[in-house]
């Protein structure tokens, strides 16, 4: 119970802030989540579904079942195929792991589509600045983790109690395991959902 609450306290409000406040997600819009099997990604897939969006997740084939089980309507295995070359467009591309740039994704965005990245970089900062002066497709970044408030947590608790959100806990570690084991695992960039510290 506490582990599930911890798992929902950071990445779920992050996904909510990006999709609701930055992308202004609407029902039936098409959303692509890059890194859909990670902690932010799995939260984003679920949050986007609560808005009535059509969600495609991008992850490796090994994680496609997990992403589908969290509500994704479609999954693209990035090792076998590149979504930027499949001719499809999305209203929102949420790069939860900062692996693709706005420039790479621009052709896969609808006319007024929004690209979001959780990972700060010069590339995203320039893209945010330049796209803010032009019409059409936009790039957006937020320090969503630092922008949380009680109302967001209340909304998330409501969704969780209604069975519309679940926690995806990959591994639990003890306090003593933080420096070596927990960090080493997170640094692999292969975790499936959250890592939680239990004490
Ligand atoms: N801006 C903010 O407010 C904010 C808030 C929270 C977190 N963050 C940042 O968000 C980032 C993501 O955090 P996280 O904890 O969600 O990451 P994570 O859980 O460590 O992401 C791991 C997942 O990424 C997938 N992945 C790795 N390379 C990929 C690629 N090239 N394409 C698609 N998927 C790929 C892996 O799936 P496969 O094994 O299938 O490849 C794995 O399941 C971090 O950099 C974190 O610092 C930012």
- 63 ligand 1 Cβ < 6 A: yes
Report the CATH number of the 2-146 domain: 3.40.50.720
Averaged pLDDT, 111-116: 97
Give the C-alpha separation, 61 to 165, whole Å: 23
Q: Where are the domains of the chain?
A: 2-146
Best mutation site among 97, 98, 121 for ligand 1 pocket (most ligand atoms within 8 Å of CB): 97
pLDDT score at 148: 84
For residue 40 and ligand 1, the question of a CB distance below 6 A is answered with: yes
For 116-129, the pLDDT digits (tens) are 999 999 999 999 99
Q: What local confidence, expressed as pLDDT, does residue 111 receive?
A: 95
- Quickly state the pLDDT bin for 146 (edges 50, 70, 90): confident
Which residue has better confidence, 118 or 8? 118
Establish whether residue 57 lines the binding site of ligand 1, counting it when its CB lies within 6 angstroms of any ligand atom: no
Instruction: Flag whether pLDDT at 1 surpasses 90.
Output: no
Residue carrying structure tokens 């408030």: 149
Among residues 152, 183, 193, 197, the alpha carbon closest in space to that of 44 is found at 193
Query: Which pLDDT belongs to residue 110?
Result: 97
Does 171 contact ligand 1 (Cβ within 6 A)?
no
């Amino acid at each position: 119970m506490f582990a599930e609450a911890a798992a929902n306290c950071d990445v779920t409000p992050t996904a909510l802030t990006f999709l609701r406040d930055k992308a202004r997600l609407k029902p039936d819009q098409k959303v692509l989540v890059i890194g859909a099997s990670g902690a932010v990604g799995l939260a984003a897939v679920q949050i986007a579904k609560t808005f009535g969006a059509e969600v495609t997740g991008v992850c490796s084939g090994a994680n496609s079942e997990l992403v589908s089980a969290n509500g994704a309507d479609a999954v693209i295995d990035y090792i076998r195929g590149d979504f930027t070359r499949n001719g499809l467009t999305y209203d929102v591309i949420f790069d939860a792991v900062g692996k693709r740039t706005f420039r790479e994704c621009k052709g896969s965005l609808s006319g007024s589509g929004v690209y979001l990245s959780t990972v700060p970089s010069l590339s995203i900062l320039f893209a945010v600045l330049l796209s803010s002066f032009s019409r059409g497709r936009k790039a957006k970044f937020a320090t969503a983790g630092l922008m949380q408030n009680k109302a967001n947590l209340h909304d998330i608790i409501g969704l969780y109690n209604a069975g519309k959100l679940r926690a995806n806990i990959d591994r639990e570690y003890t306090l003593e395991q933080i420096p070596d084991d927990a960090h080493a695992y997170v640094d692999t960039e292969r975790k499936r959902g959250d890592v939680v510290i239990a004490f």
